[in-house]
Amino acid sequence: MNYFVYKLYKLFPDKLRKTIKKALPKGLPRKIWYGLLSSKKSKYFRFDYQKAYGKDNAYETYLDIQKSAFERKIDNQWETEENIIMLSNYLNSWFSKEKIIGICHGTRTGSEQRWFNEHLYKGSYVFGTDIGSDLEEYEDTIYFDMNEDNLDWKNKFNFIYSNSWDHSFNPVPMLANWYSHLKQGGIMILNHAATHSSENYESVSETDPVAISSDELINILQEINLETFSLDGFSRNNDESLKPWIYVCGKKR
């Protein structure tokens, strides 16, 4: 039933959708829409592509939407160098002059890995992944679907960083894969701003299909056997709507 409701909604012209949203209380249209299409089994919101597009087309549609978003947002930069410097200082201290090997998932044009490579100890190496086009144009970036596993990466990385975890098709198995890619003592670092919270329906979309409170994100990391902690970050452009801007982290035991 939800699938057919959604298909009917998608038939509405954009102008009509905007008119309906203006006529209703702020956030209500999205709450109704996502209430129909979210996962009912989880403690957080997850846009269910199978309900929206049917089981056979779900993952292919998801990938198409993410690739389209890559092109559309190519000039957008979420993370800041100020925060990467803070994270680099923490990693340098934790790994005590060890050459640090890291991976950044969903980095688009590669700013995050470039900043890490500039501010981590000499000899360290960090690369990024994405599923966009022309990735050879961006330094230290490879094509890889972050939802997938890679057996060659088992127990390989000192840290894994992402501010794109909310773009996942299903976050729990994805984060479990990332856990397996960490060395013992390795650290997973997930950016979490106010807009990632499940209460913020204004920022949730098919492009950003996952919304989780920081507390629930911590619970997920604990369930996959990470020792959790948080680091305070600096919100982009000191934007009040993004606060609190933190990094939910987990150390592999």
What's the pLDDT tens digit per position in 26-40? 555 555 655 665 555
For the segment(s) 81-252, the CATH number from 3.40.640.10, 3.40.50.150, 3.30.420.40, 3.40.47.10 is 3.40.50.150
Return the structure tokens found at 90.
């923490």
Banded pLDDT at 1 (limits 50, 70, 90): very low
Return the structure tokens found at 78.
């979420």
The pTM score is 0.86
Banded pLDDT at 204 (limits 50, 70, 90): low
Model confidence pLDDT, tens digit, residues 65-120: 999 999 999 888 999 999 999 999 999 999 987 899 999 999 999 999 999 999 99
Model confidence pLDDT, tens digit, residues 156-173: 999 999 999 999 999 999
CB 188 within 8 A of CB 178: yes
Q: How far apart are CA 184 and CA 109, in angstroms?
A: 29
Other C-beta atoms closer than 10 Å to the C-beta of 184 total 8
Other C-beta atoms closer than 10 Å to the C-beta of 187 total 26
The length of the chain in residues reads 253
What pLDDT sits at residue 54?
A: 82
Phi and psi torsions of 165, nearest 5°: -60, -30
What pLDDT sits at residue 51?
A: 76
Domain map (residue ranges) of the chain: 2-72, 81-252
CB 228 within 8 A of CB 248: yes
E strands of the chain, at which residues? 45-46, 101-105, 125-130, 141-143, 157-162, 182-192, 210-211, 226-232, 246-252
CB 204 within 8 A of CB 31: no
Q: How far apart are CA 105 and CA 141, in angstroms?
A: 10
